Amino acid sequence: MLIMGFRVLALLLVLASASASAQPEPKRILLLNSYRSALPANREFAEKIREQLDLPPMVAVEFNTDTLNLAMDHDDYYAQNLLEVYRVKYHASPPNLVIATFGPAVQFVLDHRDELFPGIPIILCFTEYLADDLEQLPPNVTAVTTRLDYSGTVELMSRLHPDMRRIVLIGGSSHVDALREQEASKVLQQFESRFEFTWLRGIPLSQLTETVRALPPHTVILYVFQNTDLNGVSYVSPSFVQAVSEAANVPVYGLWDTLIGSGMVGGRLMSIERQGVEAGKIARRILLGEVPAAVPVVRLERNDVVVDARQLQRWSIDERLLPEGSRILNREHSLWEQHRNVILLAGGLIALQALWIAVLLRNRSKLQQAQDSLRQEYDHRIQADELIRRLRTRLGAEEKQSNLGALAGRIAHEINQPLISIKNYAQAAMRYLPNDSAKEGKLAELLAEMEGEANRAGSIIQKIRTLLSSERVDAVPVDLDPVLKEVVAVMKPEADAHGRHIDYRVTAPVPIVLADALQVQLVMVNLLRNAMQAAASHDQNINEPVSITVGETADRMVQVSVADTGPGVPADETENIFESLYSTKETGMGVGLATCRTIIEAHGGRIWCTQNPAGGAIFHFTVPIAEGGA
């Protein structure tokens, strides 16, 4: 059993080794820094490059950082030994990409790239003082360039300190410091007629702090760069600037954004963050297969104005003097700015509590009034129910009378035709009687009586027709809105019996119309009753209401629409349903809609039916607007 266990363990080790060997080699990035690793700029550069890589999960990355420390003044022995160290270190396992930051590392990589990194892609990150030497980059090299904005920073200093006469520049004693001084002096020549320039070169920090304590008025300090002093002591810029700013009796300005928060006011600052971001973007493209020659050089030409709010306050500098678009960092927030949400929440709760108390007090004072109102409302409800009952009875009688009138009119029309024919036949028979007939007198008398009786029957029918169905409309100006609301109130019990709700919607004030209110109500009762019966016969939309909408048309008419969600009206029957004695219901007489058309057309309007997009039918009718009723 023990031997079997060892065999299984050995098999697992072999499989693990095979799996590990199948993993792709990681992409190795070598970041070469010019200055000592303690500089915040080195850390920020590396962080921004890492953030921008964002490679696919199957692409592993190994990120290595080395510090050449070439900013110090070293002899050839140091350079030769450094070269030998890198030759041995990366011979067996060369990087896939080299990134060099700032001048010394950039120059070292360019001088020894063929020896140390043959054919390996290289990204150079440097400032403009090397630009003249790098007009033509090698094929495997691309770059991100930036600039130290000396002139822009001096202009900002002059803007914030209108009485400035003297600028003290702080520099170091190393060869890198000398390059910086040479670069700055060349740019600042344009300001020599306006300001007096004084260089403090390589002064040890203890002596420098004493010097800046006693600078004359109208002076401003510009920190260029001090890598080492005359004694060979090297410095980390943020702590160096911090000591100088705390001791100085005048404001201190600088050129790098990493120095904000160290006591300087600000300047047009070179952004290490932006340079790192752009370098990371280029690194990603190269690691994914692009060649450096296909990646154009990124030139960060303009630096933003960045200032420290605490130093503006310390030196009483008016923020309104800052150019538009300036960034103000480290602003101290007021109590309101720090706890705005808490203050708003507390204030809202207090206001809500006060409002609630006021509401309770008001409700208490109105309690007795509410009880009295309820009693009055009950009495009014009893009276309203009685009024609605009487109105419903009256409307029912009027509707029946109107329906009978329309039916009588049509029957009279149909009977008049044969009566006229009888009359005509009697008159024709009299013309054809022979003159010598012995019975001529008697036949003529009988035919005359027949004609007279036909005339008498027609007169009687016309009287009945006139009695039951008037052809005239006594139209007067009527406010249509209360007329329709009255119908809705009357029909509510019937709607409840059908399990339906009448939804009356008016989108705008209804104009005064010219109509007979009772006849319009009869039309509405008929349409609503049909709508509720149709909806009740269709179970699919049982909760949908019967809706009434009212609106004005372009031709000075008011249109009323009644919509239901019943089975609808077939498209080929939308005209026939308004004909007399035509009905789509098994028990219908075909009188109601015909009567509605008679009434509406007598008013000068029209009535029609359309399909409801939501299912069912919509019946529309129009009545004219009274003069001056719009």
| Residue 56 φ/ψ region, left for φ over 0, alpha for ψ in the -120 to 50 degree band, beta for the rest | beta
The winner for highest mean pLDDT among 136-140, 382-386, 449-453 is 136-140
| Residue 135: CATH number of its domain | 3.40.50.2300
Whether residues 156 and 227 fall in one domain: yes
Name the pLDDT band for 3 (thresholds 50, 70, 90): very low
Instruction: Residue 520: count other Cβ atoms within 10 Å of its Cβ.
Output: 24
542 in a structural domain: yes
177 in a structural domain: yes
What six digits make up the tokens of 54? Answer: 């964002």
Q: What pLDDT, on a 0 to 100 scale, did the predictor assign at position 159?
A: 95
Calculate mean pLDDT across residues 107-136: 80
* pLDDT tens per residue across span 441-489: 666 666 676 766 667 566 545 544 544 455 566 788 999 899 898 888 8
Picking from 436, 468, 500, the residue at the C-terminal end of a domain is 468
Whether residues 480 and 504 fall in one domain: yes
Separation between Cα atoms, residue 569 and residue 564, nearest integer Å: 11
DSSP β-ladder status, 476-479 and 512-515: antiparallel
Name the pLDDT band for 73 (thresholds 50, 70, 90): low
Whether residues 183 and 312 fall in one domain: yes
pTM exceeds 0.75: no
484 in a structural domain: yes
One-letter identity of residue 272: I
* pLDDT tens per residue across span 321-343: 999 999 999 887 667 766 778 88
Whether residues 29 and 135 fall in one domain: yes
What six digits make up the tokens of 471? Answer: 């052809």
39 in a structural domain: yes
Name, in order, each residue with C-beta under 8 angstroms of 555's C-beta and a sequence gap of 6 or more.
none
Burial, 371: exposed, middle or buried (Cβ in 10 Å; 0-12, 13-18, 19+)? exposed
Largest Cα span, the chain: 168
Asked which of 250-264, 331-345, 489-503 is least confident by mean pLDDT, the reply is 331-345
| Residue 462: CATH number of its domain | 1.10.287.130
> Minimal CA–CA distance to 255: which of 187, 319, 309, 204?
187
Q: What pLDDT, on a 0 to 100 scale, did the predictor assign at position 402?
A: 62
Whether residues 115 and 262 fall in one domain: no
Give the residue with greater pLDDT, 424 vs 500: 500
Whether residues 197 and 321 fall in one domain: yes
Q: What percent of the chain lies above the pLDDT cut of 70?
A: 78
Picking from 435, 468, 501, the residue at the C-terminal end of a domain is 468
- Terminal CA-to-CA distance of the chain, rounded, Å? 106
Instruction: Residue 611: count other Cβ atoms within 10 Å of its Cβ.
Output: 14
Q: What's the domain range around 532?
A: 476-624
Instruction: Residue 591: count other Cβ atoms within 10 Å of its Cβ.
Output: 19
Q: Is the pLDDT of residue 218 over 70?
A: yes
Asked which of 115-129, 160-174, 413-427 is least confident by mean pLDDT, the reply is 413-427
DSSP helix/strand/coil, 260: coil
C-alpha R_g of the chain: 51
Whether residues 133 and 77 fall in one domain: yes
Asked which of 306-315, 376-385, 546-555 is least confident by mean pLDDT, the reply is 376-385
Q: What pLDDT, on a 0 to 100 scale, did the predictor assign at position 308?
A: 95
* Contact (CB, 8 A) for 307 and 329: yes
- Burial code (b: 16+ CB inside 10 Å, e: under 16) for 281-297 equals bbbbebbeeeebeebeb
6 in a structural domain: no
| Residue 504: CATH number of its domain | 3.30.565.10
Per-chain mean pLDDT for the chain: 81
Picking from 451, 468, 485, the residue at the C-terminal end of a domain is 468
Whether residues 115 and 158 fall in one domain: no
Q: Is the pLDDT of residue 279 over 70?
A: yes
Separation between Cα atoms, residue 167 and residue 157, nearest integer Å: 9
Q: Is the pLDDT of residue 162 over 90?
A: yes
- What sign has the CA pseudo-torsion 42, 47, 48, 53? positive
Calculate mean pLDDT across residues 575-592: 64
Separation between Cα atoms, residue 502 and residue 489, nearest integer Å: 9
State how many domains the chain has: 4
294 in a structural domain: yes
Name the pLDDT band for 147 (thresholds 50, 70, 90): confident
Q: What pLDDT, on a 0 to 100 scale, did the predictor assign at position 2?
A: 41
Q: What pLDDT, on a 0 to 100 scale, did the predictor assign at position 266?
A: 95
Whether residues 252 and 383 fall in one domain: no
541 in a structural domain: yes
Q: What pLDDT, on a 0 to 100 scale, did the predictor assign at position 210?
A: 95
Q: What percent of the chain lies above the pLDDT cut of 90?
A: 30
Q: What pLDDT, on a 0 to 100 scale, did the predictor assign at position 489?
A: 86
Q: Is the pLDDT of residue 587 over 60?
A: no
What six digits make up the tokens of 286? Answer: 């190269």
The winner for highest mean pLDDT among 10-24, 137-151, 572-586 is 137-151
Burial, 182: exposed, middle or buried (Cβ in 10 Å; 0-12, 13-18, 19+)? exposed
What six digits make up the tokens of 428? Answer: 């024709």
| Residues facing 142 on adjacent strands | 123
Name, in order, each residue with C-beta under 8 angstroms of 328's C-beta and a sequence gap of 6 or more.
307, 308, 309, 312, 319, 322
| Residues facing 512 on adjacent strands | 479
User: Could you identify the residue written with the tokens 């202009």?
Assistant: 155
Name the pLDDT band for 19 (thresholds 50, 70, 90): very low
Whether residues 492 and 452 fall in one domain: no
549 in a structural domain: yes
DSSP β-ladder status, 512-515 and 502-506: unpaired
Calculate mean pLDDT across residues 166-187: 90
Whether residues 412 and 501 fall in one domain: no
What six digits make up the tokens of 45? Answer: 């550069």
Whether residues 52 and 85 fall in one domain: yes
